[in-house]
Chain A
Amino acid sequence: MAKVAYYPGCALEGSGGPYDRSTRALVDALDLEMVNLQDWNCCGAMEVKNIHPMLQTYMSARNMAIASEKMGFDTVMAPCNGCYHNLKKAEYECATSAETMQTVQELASKAGDPVYKGNVRTIHLLEWLMEEIGADGIKQRIRKNLNGIKIANYYGCMYTRPRQIFPEKDQGPGSESSHKPHFMDDLLAAAGAVNIDFPLKTACCGGAHTLSDSDTSTQLVLNLLQAAEEAGAEVIATECPTCHSGLEMHQIRAETRFGIKTGVKILYFTQLLGLALGLSARKLAIHENISDSLDFLHEKGVI
């Protein structure tokens, strides 16, 4: 079993709180072991690279260096797509460009930070669960079937694109697909949900401009909500705090600004899996989502 350092990132400490709490509860319930990444810093999110790309590379590499140099760990696990993407990108940039690696190491010595040596891998929570537990493992641990809730699995942009930075994807059976990801589908199907054929799995929610270009974001989110409903989904399962907040916020904005109402519920995949493992809605912070799904889950008999 890999020694896994948990990197929650800024969003999970703030607006994505329910994702952090349901992740911790889920990991506990599955008897997996992870240790908080010590005194981490922001990965740069989607903003810092626009000031200068090296900032993002350095800030992400610094977190990986903390894991290896300060904690002796070889794996960083991030549930946030943004953090995951940025750390993978730093890993890729440093591995493919000696110049980038040199700059990163020089900046680290100048700042007195731990120096990144390229010996840490970053994985997404989904990948970790598939690696350690797998769909069959989930099936064995189910205490409360998800009763055929119809789910649209939404992976967003950062989990699969650009595919160049995810060399472990697209490696045949058992690996994740960058073109048509399925890890979340696999886990939730094992928990008793019905995955609908959702064509916009990796479409964009406009998260980068949620506030600076709200109309565009509302339009992109509406595409997702309406396509999910059209395909028969009752719930959109998310794996990214930016996507999740964007979907919740623009579902409301679409209704109040443009009079377009959609009823599909939005839940983190960790909350759905947690319910299947018999954890309470409160423990999974479902009551703290803006999208209110408690009545629906009650009707479905899963809480």
Chain B
Amino acid sequence: MAIHEKSLIAPEDLMTADKLVIDGVDVSGHWNTMIKPRYVSDYDPDFCKVIQSYGGGENVHRCWQCGSCTNSCTVYAINADFNPRYWIYLVNLGLQAELLKDKDIIWQCVSCNKCTNICPKDVRPEGVMKALQHWLEDAGHVPKSSSTKFDEEFTRQCFERGRIEDTEVIMNFFKQTGQDVVELVKQGWLGIMLARMNHLPLLRDGRIGAFLARLPLLGPLKMGWAMLFKPRTKSWGRTGEVLRQYVEEQKRLHHG
């Protein structure tokens, strides 16, 4: 059923004899390359159900392995190890050990939805990627990805106030991932971006007229205001708490 991309054959499963003559024919080197037979016994027939219990993974069993997801995948185009079709196959066969070989890159799905758009079986592979990442983190196979930390900070603000304040999300994200903002500003792109945002080089060049024409007044002022008086949905009331409880209930229900 599966399409076995050549890159999926582990190097240790390939056999090539440097010198080999069979029936008087020289088949040395690549001419005699063989793939070693494998016997897989450590599969988990219920693994598919585990992934289905995570939000986004509900339809994983529907896959018929056409490969459209991988073929259309944005991340696959820059890293051929990122192979949603193969991971969905492994989930349905219950081959956890094989899946864990790629555990450090699954979080890199950019949610562009090309896969979900094209999938003929409504597997919703984008959701499956998120379900896989959740499972990897819950099972302790990987630490929380930086993306998960970003999601958590974002959601925390939503629970609390109904809205986010983007500077606060970014600052707290840098803090939680141990990145020093001052360093980021000093060492390069962030600093240059801030300077360009405020068009500072122009002032250095002495072009005061040109500088004033570009001076953003309202934007930074508004952003500063938002940092002090955080945007809030006034009618949010109990909503955040109700949603927080819902997520906890679902977690208890599905994952104990």
- 8 shortest A-B CB distances, which residue pairs? A204-B112, A47-B154, A41-B162, A14-B166, A161-B113, A212-B146, A288-B216, A162-B117
- How many chain B residues sit at the interface, stated as a range, is 35 or more
Of the 9-residue stretches B24-32, B33-41, B233-241, which lies at the interface with chain A?
B233-241
A residues near B114, Cβ cutoff 8 Å: 157, 161, 204
Q: Decide yes or no whether A1 CB sits under 8 A from chain B.
A: no
**Residue B139 lies at the interface, judged by CB distance under 8 Å to chain A:** no
B113–A162 CB distance below 8 A: yes
| Contact between A209 and B112, CB atoms less than 8 A apart | no
Q: How many A-B residue pairs have CB under 8 A?
A: 189
Q: Does B213 contact A (CB under 8 A)?
A: yes
Say yes or no: is A175 at the interface (Cβ < 8 Å to chain B): no
Q: Is the interface of B mostly helix, strand, loop or mixed?
A: helix
Q: Are A292 and B199 in contact (CB under 8 A)?
A: yes
- Contact in complex: B196, A212 (CB < 8 Å): no
Q: Which residues of B contact A46 (CB under 8 A)?
A: 111
Q: List the A residue with the shortest CB-CB distance to B216.
A: A288
| Contact between B214 and A294, CB atoms less than 8 A apart | yes
Q: Within 8 Å of chain B (Cβ to Cβ): is A155?
A: no
Q: Check A112 against B117 for contact (C-beta < 8 Å).
A: no
Query: Residues of B contacting A34 with CB < 8 Å?
Result: none
B56 touches A162 (CB 8 A): no
> Which A residues between 40 and 97 are near B, CB-CB below 8 angstroms?
40-42, 44-55, 58-59, 62
Stretch at the interface among B11-19, B84-92, B218-226: B218-226
Chain A 216-238 residues near chain B, CB threshold 8 A: 216, 219-220
Question: With the chains together, A248 CA to B189 CA distance in Å?
Answer: 11
In the complex, chain A residues whose CB is within 8 Å of the CB of B116: 161-162
**B226 & A14 in contact (Cβ 8 Å cutoff):** yes
A111 touches B247 (CB 8 A): no
Chain A residues, Cβ within 8 Å of B233: 39-42
Bound-state Cα–Cα, A220 to B243, Å: 34
Known: A161-B113, A285-B218. A41 touches B213 (CB 8 A): no
Contact B55–A10 (Cβ < 8 Å): no
- Complex: A122 Cα to B145 Cα, angstroms: 33
Residue contacts A-B, CB under 8 angstroms, 16 given: A10-B231, A13-B222, A47-B154, A110-B242, A111-B242, A161-B112, A163-B117, A164-B122, A204-B112, A208-B110, A249-B189, A252-B189, A287-B199, A287-B213, A290-B196, A294-B214
CB-based contact A47/B113 at 8 Å = no
Asked whether B163 is an interface residue with its Cβ less than 8 Å from the other chain, the reply is yes
Cβ-defined contact, A257 with B234, below 8 A: no
With a CB–CB cut-off of 8 A, which chain B residues contact A208?
A: 109-112, 147
Please judge, given known A-B contacts A42-B164, A292-B199, whether A157 and B113 are in contact too, CB under 8 Å: yes
Instruction: Assess the B196–A292 pair: CB atoms within 8 A.
Output: yes
Of residues 183 to 234 in A, which have CB atoms within 8 Å of B's CB atoms?
A: 203-204, 206-209, 211-213, 216, 219-220
Q: Establish whether residues A14 and B223, one from each chain, have CB atoms under 8 Å apart when the complex forms.
A: yes
Interface of A is mostly: helix
The answer to whether B162 touches A58, judged by C-beta atoms less than 8 angstroms apart, is no
Q: Verify if B170 is at the interface (C-beta below 8 Å from A).
A: yes
A219 to B111 CA separation, bound complex (whole angstroms):
16
Residue in contact with B74 in the complex, picked from A17, A40, A220, A288, CB distance below 8 Å: A220
Q: How far is the CA of A68 from the CA of B205 in the complex (A)?
A: 54
CA distance A11 to B122 in the complex (A): 30
- Residues of A at under 8 Å CB distance from B? 10-11, 13-15, 17-18, 21, 39-42, 44-55, 58-59, 62, 107, 110-113, 157-158, 160-164, 178, 203-204, 206-209, 211-213, 216, 219-220, 248-249, 252-253, 255-257, 285, 287-288, 290, 292, 294
Q: Is B97 positioned at the interface, with any CB of A under 8 Å from its CB?
A: no
Chain A residues contacting B237 (CB-CB under 8 Å) are 111-112
Is B193 in contact with A220, judged by CB distance below 8 angstroms?
A: no
Decide: A44 near B158, CB < 8 A? Known: A161-B112, A204-B74, A208-B110. Answer: yes
- B150 within 8 A of partner (CB): yes
- A50:B148 contact, CB within 8 angstroms: yes
Chain B residues contacting A53 (CB-CB under 8 Å) are: 55-56, 127
Assuming A50-B133, A161-B117, what are 20 further A-B pairs, CB within 8 angstroms? Answer: A10-B165, A13-B231, A39-B235, A41-B233, A45-B154, A51-B247, A53-B55, A54-B250, A107-B242, A110-B238, A112-B237, A160-B117, A207-B110, A216-B75, A249-B189, A252-B196, A256-B192, A257-B188, A292-B199, A294-B213
Task: Say if the beta carbon of B98 comes within 8 Å of chain A.
Answer: no
Chain A residue at minimum C-beta to C-beta distance from B111: A208
Contacts of B110 in A (CB 8 A): 204, 206-209, 213, 216, 220
B residues 68-111 in Cβ contact with A at 8 Å: 74-75, 78, 108-111
Q: Are B226 and A52 touching (Cβ within 8 A)?
A: no
Residues in B whose Cβ lies below 8 Å from that of A41:
158, 162-163, 233, 236, 239
The smallest beta-carbon distance between A140 and chain B, in angstroms, is 31
- Contact at B189–A253, with CB atoms within 8 Å? yes
**A212 to B145, Cβ gap below 8 A?**
yes
B127 to chain A, nearest CB (A): 7
On whether the beta carbons of B163 and A10 are closer than 8 Å, the reply is yes
Given A203-B74, A206-B110, A216-B78, decide whether A252 and B192 contact each other with a Cβ distance below 8 A: yes
